Amino acid sequence: MLKQRLLDLTQPLRQKGSFAQNFFVTFSGSAAVTALGFLLTPIMTRIYPPAAYGQMAVLNAAVSNLTLLTTLTYQSAVPLPKTKEDALSLMQLSGVLSVGSFVLLSLVMLMFGPWITAWLDVQALGGWFYLLPVLLLFYNLSLLLSSWYTRTKEFRTRAGVDVVTTVVGRAFTIGCGLVTHGHPGGLVVGDAFSKLTTFVALLRSGVHREWGELRRTFSWARVRKAAHDFREFPLYTLPGTYVNTLSAQLPIFFLTSGFGATVVGLYSFSVTLLEIPVGLTGSAIAPVFYQKASELFHTDLPRLRELTLNIYNKLLYVGIVPLGLITVFGDWMFKFAFGARWEMAGVFTGYLGYYYIFKLTSQATGNLYTVLGKQRYLLLTNLLLLVTRAAGLAVGVYLHNVDLALLLFGVGSLACIFLIDMHILHLLGLPVVRIALRTILLLGATLLLLKGLRIGIESVFLKA
């Protein structure tokens, strides 16, 4: 009886290609990556100082911005075409854009490299900053290959690659840090090596078998047709996604100009730690849910509503306690785990923790504007997010108060992401008022409970 019950419960996991099996595979890989990240991060923080993380944050911001501008987000469309022929045309188009942008950016760096380095205030990186075109190329191509594996439902492949490249990349970064005594160039070299191994591993995991057909069927006419057929991505998805990326990176640019590289490093490190649980679930859920949602939208809309709300609720339950703990106890946690010089990064996580709960739930809603064909809303909502964040940061920088700047950034982000989530659920025809009230009550009760726990601990154990 028990054996049969277990077989019934695990039936979805054993069904090849099912949503449950795909989710379990990607979640297992993401969990392994997360565990490795937590284990190795305390070592890295004792090698690299906050200022080094600040310099690297600026470089990563440049890569993120250039990725969107150079790919035009066409690689995101690869899972959507009904025919393999159209998907291969998108692969060809994205490949041309990636290689062409690498050549162009290399020429720009040769001619204007010193001026760009001074403008971004990353002189401490030295000549390592000139790896920017290489980082961009491998990152763009890796995104393209990942989209192909999403289309073919080969989630096990991506999960395995993530685990291996995380170990290799972090180990290489630690080794570079020991050799260079914490020079920020070690972070750049480690990141470049990680991106290279990710690309090679993805390429050799199966997609290389399509190389013959990609080469044989290539024509500029097919590339132009793909660009035209999926023009909504550069017209609507690109502006919205770019605005969202820029708004997420606003603290890096505001804090660099207002408070210096060390504060940027502390902020960047706090965000890196907050991104780990979000990345754990996001990298597991987002590609699987995107593929499933694209399918259900055409075949079973009520099932899509049910699945979306189910995932939204589960992500809320998963994130509310750990991210609530980080919000309330972040400074204590960071000082204990990473050393006294990172305590302020823990304070910053307190300003951002509750926002990341909604960033987590948005893994169930983020791609639905694209699935529903409402890309124009993606642009409008991200513009709202950009303006709200910029206003909060501007007030803090003007008053030269980094705590106020990040508090306003966190609160504004929380409010906007929550409203965006509710808007998407409304487009699906779900009862958003009831969902919103329930969410707010859960968050409020958890915050009051954890805050009361902290006050109690301070009054009992930390009396002067």
- Reported as a single tens digit per residue, the pLDDT across 137-159 is 999 999 998 888 778 776 666 66
Domain that holds residue 205: 18-228
Residue appearing with tokens 């992500």: 315
Q: Do 236 and 199 share a structural domain?
A: no
Lowest pLDDT segment from 3-12, 122-131, 256-265, 424-433: 3-12
Residue 78 lies in a domain: yes
Q: How confident is the model at residue 9 (pLDDT cuts 50, 70, 90)?
A: very low
Structure token pair of residue 73:
């987000």
pLDDT at 13: 46
Q: Are 34 and 166 in a shared domain?
A: yes
Q: Give residue 266's pLDDT.
A: 92
- Indicate the range of 74-88, 132-146, 157-171, 236-250 predicted with least confidence: 157-171
Q: Is the pLDDT of residue 392 over 90?
A: yes
461 and 325 together in one domain:
yes
pLDDT band at 308 (very low <50, low <70, confident <90, very high): confident
The yes-or-no verdict on residue 130 having pLDDT over 90 is yes
pLDDT at 3 over 60: no
Query: Which of 178-187, 233-242, 313-322, 424-433 has the lowest average pLDDT?
Result: 233-242
Lowest mean pLDDT among 285-299, 384-398, 409-423: 285-299
Q: What pLDDT is recorded for position 351? A: 92
Residue 323 domain-assigned (yes or no): yes
Amino acid occupying residue 420: I
Residue-level pLDDT at 464: 52
Packing angle between helix 50-71 and helix 261-299, nearest 10 degrees?
Answer: 40
Closest to 89 in 3D by CA, of 100, 99, 75, 101: 75
Domain count for the chain: 2
| pLDDT at residue 336, as a whole number | 86
pLDDT of amino acid 296: 82
390: CB partners within 8 A, 6+ apart: 247, 250
Chain centroid to CA 159: how far?
A: 16
pLDDT of residue 104: 96
**CA 354 → CA 141, 252, 333, 398, 463, distances in Å?**
33, 20, 16, 25, 28
**Structural domain ending residue among the three candidates 228, 258, 293:** 228
Q: Place 354 in a pLDDT band, splitting at 50, 70 and 90.
A: confident
Q: Does residue 194 carry a pLDDT above 80? A: yes
- The domain boundary, picked from 184, 212, 228, lies at 228
Residues 324, 463 share a domain:
yes
Query: 3 in a domain, yes or no?
Result: no
Query: What are the b/e assignments for 122-154, b being 16+ CB within 10 Å?
Result: bebbeebbbbbbebbbbbbbbbbbbbbbbbbbb
